[in-house]
């Protein structure tokens, strides 16, 4: 897999890391999450800080957080399945439950050896998604751990990779565009068999001779507002020093962060639903005509 660093991107990444890190809240896997399936071969170690999800012929595996949140930042360090990962999907997302659920996604679509992963992003509001954007990573996501952060507040959702923003979905609810701001969402991650669609539209199947497939995680952090039912809709959104995500610094990407994101989107974006006129038969979603950053 090709791997390279752009000098401007490296310099801006350092600035972004410094600016993006207010006080961190510890949310160890051992204390803050539990296995929902596949616990017989997944594991937590390293004083509760390290997670290993496994996929083999018997099953995949998954975790979810004990608490739900509304606004803030969720981050993990993830080292994806190495080698021939075709047909596998490593999912990392926040979601509520029910037919009208809200959800903010990272999904990592595996590939055959030597071909790049696909970073798949999406947002669901009240059960409706179809807002996919996809990227090739500009690094090998299997060689080391990389930080994947979902940051959202009453103004916008931002997807970060190693503190580099790759996508923004702004709140235009006042103009009729749905936005996820009224449902608490738990944190989920899973490793599962999706070879009916994940790699080349399902043409590449899982090679079970390469099993077990292992995704590794470290340093789960939830710096977010705890969901305590409907009162949290107001409590988590009000501007206050405690609700750091509502501060002016998080209402608009800085020019440096916008420069980072432009570099990624110009060089590594491979799909944007807002450019898929055939899919929507020309009836494009309204947010596609509005500035996002």
Q: Which of 49, 50, 75, 107 is catalytic?
A: 107
Query: Which residues are CB-neighbours of 128 under 8 A, at least 6 positions away?
Result: 178
Question: 174 in helix, strand or coil?
Answer: helix
Give the count of beta carbons closer than 10 Å to the beta carbon of residue 273. 18
Residue 161: both structure tokens together: 């990779």
Q: Please indicate whether residue 75 is annotated as part of the active site.
A: no
Beta strands in 56-130 (DSSP E): 61-79, 88-95, 103-109, 118-124
Q: How far is CA 289 from CA 95, 124, 172, 269, 277, in A?
A: 26, 18, 11, 19, 13
- Euclidean distance between CA atoms 118 and 75, whole angstroms: 19
**Angle separating helix axes 7-19 and 255-268, nearest 10 degrees:** 130
Distance CA 130, CA 150 (A): 18
107 is annotated as an active-site residue: yes
Check 50, 103, 204, 287 and give the catalytic one: 103
The residues that are catalytic are 103, 107
């Amino acid at each position: 897999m090709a791997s390279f660093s752009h000098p401007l991107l490296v310099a801006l990444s350092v600035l972004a890391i410094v600016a993006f890190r207010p006080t961190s809240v510890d949310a160890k896997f051992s204390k803050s999450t539990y296995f929902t399936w596949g616990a017989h071969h997944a594991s937590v170690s390293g004083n509760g800080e390290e997670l290993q999800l496994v996929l083999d012929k018997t099953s995949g595996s998954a975790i979810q957080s004990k608490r739900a949140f509304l606004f803030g930042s969720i981050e993990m360090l993830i080292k994806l399945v190495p080698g021939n990962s075709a047909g596998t999907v490593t999912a990392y997302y926040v979601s509520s439950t029910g037919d009208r659920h809200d959800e903010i996604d990272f999904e990592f679509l595996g590939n055959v050896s030597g071909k790049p992963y696909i970073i798949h992003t999406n947002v669901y509001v009240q059960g409706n998604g179809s807002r996919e954007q996809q990227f090739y990573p500009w690094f090998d996501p299997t060689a080391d751990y990389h930080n994947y952060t979902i940051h959202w507040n009453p103004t916008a959702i931002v997807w970060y990779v190693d503190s580099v923003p790759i996508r923004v979905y702004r709140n235009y609810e006042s103009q009729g565009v749905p936005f996820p701001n009224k449902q608490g969402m738990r944190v989920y991650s899973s490793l599962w068999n999706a070879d009916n669609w994940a790699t080349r539209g399902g043409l590449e199947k899982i090679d079970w001779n390469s099993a077990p497939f292992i995704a590794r995680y470290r340093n789960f952090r939830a710096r977010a507002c705890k969901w305590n039912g409907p009162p949290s809709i107001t409590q988590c959104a009000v501007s206050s020093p405690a609700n750091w995500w509502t501060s002016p610094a998080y209402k608009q990407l800085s020019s440096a962060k916008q420069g980072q994101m432009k570099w990624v989107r110009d060089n590594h974006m491979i799909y944007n639903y807002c450019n898929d006129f055939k899919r929507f038969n020309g009836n494009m979603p309204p947010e596609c005509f509005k500035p996002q950053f």
